[in-house]
Amino acid sequence: MTQLWPAPVAAGPVRATVPVPGSKSITNRALVLAALADGRSTLRAPLRSRDTELMAAALRSLGTEVRDGTDGEWLVEPAALRGPATVDCGLAGTVMRFVPPVAALADGPVSFDGDPHARTRPLDTVLDALRSLGTEITGDSLPFELRGTGTLKGGRVTIDASASSQFVSGLLLSAARSEQGVTVVHEGPPVPSLPHIDMTVAMLRAAGVDVDDAQPNTWHVSPGPIRALDTEIEPDLSNATPFLAAAAATAGAVTVPGWPAATTQAGDGIRDILTTMGAEVALSPAGLTVTGPSRLEPVDIDLHDVGELTPTVAALAALATGPSRLHGIAHLRGHETDRLAALEREITGLGGDVEQTADGLLIRPRPLHGGTWHTYADHRMATAGAILGLRVHGVEVEDVATTGKTIPDFPGMWASMLEPVA
């Protein structure tokens, strides 16, 4: 039986400064670009978590050298990509969607598999795109085998990326290494989480890659070299949101140091969301500080571009003064778990009132009580349970260790945040 973690109740307003480790999204994109670059790259302050370790291991299996530096950095030395190789995707969407296009450049067979739930996540979009570019692939989801020839011709592909922006990013990251470059055209409902594609484009351009995204829903990467990286990874702003939410939920004040003044991270959207809910949000050289209100205001908000923030926002909405409507997030049904169903089930299980809509959630606050908060191997479900536990006695989070996917030692960080200020 999975061990239960008693979510600590806040004794009063939470007041803390919480340094947050590096961004998963930036770290894993930087690892891919470094593996394909001309020369050795240095990634400073990278996130060390299950997802990023899986990405590093996947690239090592293809021949790339990824080793530790003396100050915690990752030193990445490219080499000829080759099989046979085996890639463990775990439950990391970035690994299962970014590495196949890299493996298409390798010479030899590459087998992919992952955690049991990963086998239910959609992959046919990126695999069919690679097939249309000339790659031989057996299977449409995990497990599958890809057989590269050492080169990829490239060309134009039309996909429906409405289930995940990662399909676009995965194809773009390695496109410069193809013979003709790659043009990706999206046809279908709007692509979710567009800031993540903006992040990919910005990182490609910073590495000297020519990217044309002037036409809506069309991205073209020209063939050419990828410059070696020497970069410091920003703090993970999405992973910072549970700690900022602690301030909002308890009328406290939490500061996250190193918050960038300008960023492509979707997590930066939490600033406007918390402001709408009544919190004071201030960015200074010391970092981002959130001061919680005496009463959390309900919200009617489109989270389409920042869907990963939904579990945090849903937890706060369950503590608000009136009904909240979260919409634009139907795509979350295909994330680590069906996050809409999971949030409905778990908040309702604590006495709340949550209704699924076609593209989101309607949350009507009710008095909550303790109980088991199931996580479904989803790190963001675990942190949502911790937020509710600040205000609700007796919440026990199942498998809190799943937070190690993106946050090393979340329980320890949470406990430190709740320690009284000296």
Sequence length of the chain is: 422
Residues annotated within the binding site for 3-phosphoshikimate are: 24-25, 29, 164-166, 193, 308, 335
pLDDT(418) > 60:
yes
Query: Stretch 295-302: mean pLDDT, rounded?
Result: 98
Within 8 A by CB and 6+ apart from 327, the residues are: 300, 301, 302, 303, 304, 357, 359, 360
Ordered domains of the chain (ranges, CATH) = 4-21+236-418 (3.65.10.10), 24-213 (3.65.10.10)
Instruction: Please give the Cα distance from 241 to 271 (Å, whole number).
Output: 9
The confidence score (pLDDT) of residue 334 equals: 80
Percent of the chain beyond pLDDT 90?
95
Rounded to an integer, what distance in angstroms lies between the CA atom of residue 126 and that of residue 372?
Answer: 37
* Contact in structure between 363 and 353 (CB atoms under 8 Å): yes
pTM of the model: 0.92
Residue closest to 226 by CA, chosen among 31, 63, 23, 24: 31
Q: pLDDT averaged over the chain?
A: 96
The pLDDT, as a whole number, for residue 217 is 97
Rounded CA-CA distance 97/193 in Å is 15
Q: What is the mean pLDDT of residues 264-283?
A: 97
For tokens 């909240």, the residue is 324
* pLDDT score recorded for residue 341: 97
Return the SS3 of 260: coil
pLDDT reported for residue 420: 84
SS3 per-residue string spanning 15-84 = EEECCCCECHHHHHHHHHHHHHCECCEEEECCCCCHHHHHHHHHHHHCCCEEEECCCCCEEEECCCCECC
Q: For the residues of 375-391, what is the DSSP string, one character each?
A: -TT-HHHHHHHHHHHTT
pLDDT (tens digit, 9 = 90+) per residue, 139-164? Answer: 999 999 999 999 999 999 999 999 99
- Summarize pLDDT for 83-140 with one digit per residue, the tens: 999 999 999 999 999 999 999 999 999 999 999 989 988 899 999 999 999 999 999 9
**Binding-site annotation: residue ranges for phosphoenolpyruvate:** 24, 93, 121, 166, 339, 380, 405
pLDDT at residue 58, rounded to an integer: 98
Active site residues: 308
What is the band of 422 on the pLDDT scale with cuts at 50, 70, 90? low
